[in-house]
Amino acid sequence: AMDPQQRLLLETAWRTFEDAGYTPEELPRDTGVFVGITSLDYAEVWRAEGLATDGYVATGNSLAMAANRLSHQFNLNGPSQAIDTACSSSLIAMLRARDALLAGKCSAALAGGVNICLSLEGFEGPHQAGMLSPTGRCHAFGKAADGYARGEGVATVLMKRLADAERDGDRILGVIAGGAENHGGRSGALTAPNVKAQARLIVEAMTGTDPRTVSYVEAHGTGT
């Protein structure tokens, strides 16, 4: 009855703790959990097959439980949030984790995202809207751009305040120098980007960082 996305998050979270050098028991009890998740494909398949519904199906297919199950399983008492902002869900999950750490709401945070494609309905809507590429390939920023191709994945990271990570002798993989979020407001269409809003967002996120030090840029680039 449990959405495979929840199972994959459990497995990936455990591997993340191992990679960071912690057992779940060694983590601070106030560790937060922030998960980007948007898909309810498994619930759609369950209904389409006419399978019986019970309490386990309800909790196993709730987006909120994607984060809550991790907190429950690993006995973590910090903030526990499932976040759906479509394509930016996992990035916003990391931003929420960073903000919670800086605000003192938790001493550590597990952040990440998951997306598994299980239902044809998840393809039909974007196809009817003209979002999916007929060739099944993204030609990001190219003249041949005619849509995007859906993908699957799961990933989590363990985050701490830099001073705490240095104090605890943690293996530090990276430091978040800045972050920001906004909305484009009224633009050409509900899903169309607002260039001016995106420019303001980049400036805000880059505050305190010399643009000349940037050596790599990864953009959304769906090709839509």
pLDDT tens across 78-94, in order?
999 999 999 999 999 99
CA distance linking residue 164 with residue 16, whole number of Å: 18
CA distance linking residue 90 with residue 93, whole number of Å: 5
- Is there a contact between 94 and 35 (Cβ–Cβ < 8 Å)? no
3-state DSSP of 138-181: CCCCCCCCCCECCCCEEEEEEECCHHHHHHCCCCCCCCCCCCCC
pLDDT the model gives residue 66: 97
- Is there a contact between 105 and 32 (Cβ–Cβ < 8 Å)? yes
pLDDT, the chain, mean: 93
pLDDT the model gives residue 220: 82
Greater confidence, 120 or 155? 155
pLDDT the model gives residue 12: 99
Q: At what angle do helices 4-20 and 63-73 cross, to 10 degrees?
A: 40
The burial of 130, by beta-carbon neighbours within 10 Å (0-12 exposed, 13-18 middle, 19 or more buried), is given as: exposed
Greater confidence, 219 or 79? 79
pLDDT the model gives residue 188: 84
| Greatest mean pLDDT among 10-14, 116-120, 135-139, 149-153 | 10-14
- pTM beyond 0.75: the answer is yes
CA distance linking residue 119 with residue 52, whole number of Å: 18
State whether CATH 3.40.47.10 applies to domain 4-116+152-174: yes
Q: Which pLDDT tens digit goes with each residue over 8-48?
A: 999 999 999 999 999 999 999 999 999 999 999 999 888 88
Cα-to-chain-centroid distance, residue 79: 16
Across 140-148, average pLDDT: 88
Q: pLDDT band at residue 209, thresholds of 50, 70 and 90?
A: very high
- Is there a contact between 144 and 173 (Cβ–Cβ < 8 Å)? no
CA distance linking residue 173 with residue 167, whole number of Å: 15
CA distance linking residue 198 with residue 224, whole number of Å: 16
Residue spans of the domains in the chain: they are 4-116+152-174
Across 138-142, average pLDDT: 86
Share of the chain above pLDDT 70, in %: 99
pLDDT the model gives residue 50: 86
CA distance linking residue 8 with residue 113, whole number of Å: 10
pLDDT the model gives residue 224: 46
